[in-house]
């Protein structure tokens, strides 16, 4: 059974309605009964770890992959029957930039605009405006392949934004970006939304999901395990907090609190992270900071639940969601 589908709050017709979408690549199930409904002007997130089926989902929405089963209606057009229609109403940001790697960002944006039907002058003006908007002006005339990873991604984002499409399908737009560039992309997305565009944004970054998304579908092994606003999803696990510990050296294993935490935490090197009920976490931290274990602690934080906690609480098992 697919997870319950969140419905846009506005009464307006949904922009994208996906029902029972399934796709398998030989023995691997990429999407399994995915159903979502995305409203106009929404920034809708597709969150999940690597391999959860996020990219396959958006590629089907863009008509780039034919589903084995299910339906996709995009602005009222049947994408399964007429895959080419998606490219006329939506812009897509793929994960790689090989096709435009030898071009300078300004040229790549201009040509993409022309391929979306803009006139030469119009496309040139749009490329200049996007270079300013995304702060690309300094690198706008150097081949994309010779830019840093973040600048390359920014150039690709610019190609997706040119042409003012009603729907933007962005597959991990901020991967590899520094914080300033990431904010520039988030602002650009917000401006498009304010102008009436609907955005479908794939991410495996929890901070991004909580910052820019109106609603988020959490993917796990090809299925949607939750779909709601980030706030409501977090409220579902609001009794839990995350306790993060960093040890200076070897943890004091003979300390009973440490031994107890060792059983419930994920451990990456000297970093421990545990999701615990608030009172349990508070008590554990009190014992650690007042006992002998404090000397071995390098750092500790107690934070409210994130979408990663939601993912784990819902049965997610992967640990490659980004937090920052």
Partner 1 sequence: MTAPPATGFGPAFAAVYAGQVSRARTARASLFFVATLQSLGLVLLLRGVVDDGRIAEKQHIVAGSVVLVVGFVALNLLAQRFGLLRAGGALDYYAALPVPPAAVVLGIAASYASFTLPGTAVVGVVGAALYGLPLVHLWVLIPAVAVSGAALAGLGAALGLLAPRPELATVCGQLGMTLVLFLGLVRAERMPGPIRLVRAVMPSSYAVDALAEAFARRPSFGAIAVDLAICAASAVATLTLATVAYRRAVAR
Binding site for partner 1 (CB under 8 A): 59, 62-66, 76-77, 82-92, 94-100, 102-104, 107-108, 111-112, 114-117, 143, 145
Locate the DSSP E strands across 54-213.
69-74, 77-78, 90-93, 167-171, 198-203
How near is the Cβ of 168 to partner 1 at its closest, in Å?
A: 11
CA 246/CA 168 separation, integer angstroms: 40
Nearer to partner 1, 66 or 183 (CB): 66
How near is the Cβ of 183 to partner 1 at its closest, in Å?
A: 26
Residue 128 sits at the vertex; the CA angle it makes with 126 and 131, to the nearest 5 degrees, is 110
Nearer to partner 1, 125 or 313 (CB): 125
Contacts of 223 (CB under 8 A, 6+ apart): 2, 3, 31, 32, 33, 34, 53
How near is the Cβ of 80 to partner 1 at its closest, in Å?
A: 10
Nearer to partner 1, 33 or 143 (CB): 143
How near is the Cβ of 118 to partner 1 at its closest, in Å?
A: 9
Nearer to partner 1, 3 or 100 (CB): 100
How near is the Cβ of 108 to partner 1 at its closest, in Å?
A: 8
Residue 26 token pair: 């030989």
Nearer to partner 1, 1 or 98 (CB): 98
Nearer to partner 1, 92 or 247 (CB): 92
How near is the Cβ of 240 to partner 1 at its closest, in Å?
A: 38
262, with CB counted inside 10 A (0-12, 13-18, 19+), is middle
Residue 87 token pair: 């490219």
- 3 state SS for 236-294: CCCCEEEEEEEECCCCCCCCHHHHHHHHHCEEECCEEEEEEEHHHHHHHHHHHHHCHHH
CA 71/CA 29 separation, integer angstroms: 17
Nearer to partner 1, 123 or 237 (CB): 123
φ, ψ of residue 246 to 5 degrees: the values are: -125, 120
CA 66/CA 79 separation, integer angstroms: 9
Nearer to partner 1, 87 or 267 (CB): 87
How near is the Cβ of 90 to partner 1 at its closest, in Å?
A: 8
CA 316/CA 314 separation, integer angstroms: 6
How near is the Cβ of 221 to partner 1 at its closest, in Å?
A: 21
**Torsional class of 39: left (φ above 0), alpha (ψ -120 to 50), beta (otherwise):** beta
């Amino acid at each position: 059974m697919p997870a319950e589908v969140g419905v846009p709050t506005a009464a307006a017709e949904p922009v994208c309605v996906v029902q029972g979408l399934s796709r398998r690549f030989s023995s691997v199930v990429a999407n399994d009964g995915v159903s979502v409904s995305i409203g106009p002007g929404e920034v809708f997130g597709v969150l999940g770890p690597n391999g959860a089926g996020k990219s396959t989902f958006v590629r089907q929405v863009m008509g780039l992959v034919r589903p084995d089963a299910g339906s996709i209606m995009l602005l009222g057009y049947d994408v399964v029957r007429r895959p080419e229609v998606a490219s006329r109403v939506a812009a897509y940001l793929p994960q790689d930039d090989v096709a435009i790697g030898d071009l300078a960002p300004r040229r790549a944006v201009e040509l993409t605009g022309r391929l979306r039907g803009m006139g030469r002058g119009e496309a040139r003006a749009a490329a200049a405006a996007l270079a300013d908007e995304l702060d690309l002006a300094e690198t706008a005339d150097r081949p994309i392949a010779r830019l840093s990873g973040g600048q390359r991604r920014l150039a690709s984002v610019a190609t997706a934004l040119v042409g003012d499409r009603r729907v933007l399908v962005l597959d991990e737009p901020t991967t590899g970006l520094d914080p300033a560039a990431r904010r520039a992309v988030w602002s650009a997305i917000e401006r498009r939304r304010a102008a009436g565009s609907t955005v479908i944004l794939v991410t495996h970054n929890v901070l991004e999901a909580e910052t820019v998304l109106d609603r988020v579908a959490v993917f796990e092994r090809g299925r949607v395990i939750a779909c709601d606003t980030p706030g409501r999803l977090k409220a579902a696990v609001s009794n839990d907090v995350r306790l993060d510990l960093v040890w200076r050296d070897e943890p004091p294993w003979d300390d009973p609190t440490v031994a107890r935490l060792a059983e419930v935490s994920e451990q990456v090197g000297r970093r421990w992270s545990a999701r615990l009920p608030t009172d349990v976490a508070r008590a554990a931290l009190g014992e650690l900071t007042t006992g002998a274990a404090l000397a071995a602690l390098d750092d500790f934080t107690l934070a409210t639940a994130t979408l990663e906690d939601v993912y784990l609480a819902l049965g997610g098992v992967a640990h490659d969601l980004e937090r920052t």
